[in-house]
Structure 1
Amino acid sequence: MSDIKVPGFKASDLLANVSSSFGTLSDAQKQAQMKKTNGIFELQVSNAEKQTATWTVDMKKTATVYKGSAKPKADVTIILSDDTLMDLATGKTNGQKAFMTGKLKTKGNMMLATKLADVLKAAEPKAKL
């Protein structure tokens, strides 16, 4: 779990929580979540110090979260700030609003990006935001 965390990023704890919540799901629950989402998200997150960290949420084959670029290639790359990711996770903003205001950029399957909020919500019971 700690290999997911990156110092200086609030999203680090969020994604560690998402990862641990995936670990508590039964195989059937993982399969259902992957079938519903069917995509690999690469998150390129920048913090206030202009540092960038990359995480991958694989909801296509393994239902896992890991630090680094997607392997295999991501279906969608989402570029956003640490604060914007936290706002999405807590429901303070939605993906469409963040996209329209330029706080979130995508490369790849833009429609898949709309499912990220559902993936983050799946971890909500464990997330201490």
Structure 2
Amino acid sequence: MSDIKVEGFKASEILAALAQVFESYSEEEKKAQIKKTNGIFEMRIKNAEGKEAVWTIDLKSTGSIYKGAPKQKANVTLIMSDDTFQQLAEGKIDGQKAFMTGKLKTKGNMMFATKLDGILKAAKTKAKL
């Protein structure tokens, strides 16, 4: 899904790869992921130039990723830099450490935010990021 990609954002490459993994899931796998996660992540990512892009990971109803604000209320909004997101996706830093060092800010259900780590790990294994 190339409409996920945003010029100048490393995160968009990672999210596009993640979207492809979601699309490759069978209906059963998708339903299992939705049942396990049951929520919506709003990702607000700033790149080096200070531009912000927004993506939504919907694991409540559609099991998809799209560019833009969530169509229904997000369980949590994650605010971070492009570099921080890349480090999270690559497993170089965990969400808790990023949060504690101020690299990751959350609005909403902070405990729900911890589920993102598992989603990134599962997708990384499938996508081989």
In the alignment, which residue of structure 1 is the partner of 2:42?
42
Task: Check if 1:120 corresponds to 2:123.
Answer: no
RMSD: 0.8
Distance 2:102 2:128 in 1: 26
The Cα shift of 1:123 comes to 1.6
- TM-score (norm: length of structure 1): 0.96
Letter in 1 for 2:127: K
Distance 1:111 1:35 in 2: 17
- Superposed, 1:1-129 pairs within 5 Å as 1-124=1-124, 125-128=126-129
Distance 1:24 1:39 in 2: 20
Higher helix share: 2
Distance 1:17 1:99 in 2: 24
Gaps of 5+ in 1: none
Runs of 4+ residues deviating >4 angstroms: none
The Cα shift of 1:127 comes to 4.2
* Cα 1:109–1:36 shift into 2, 3 Å: same
Identity rate, percent: 60
Distance 2:128 2:73 in 1: 27
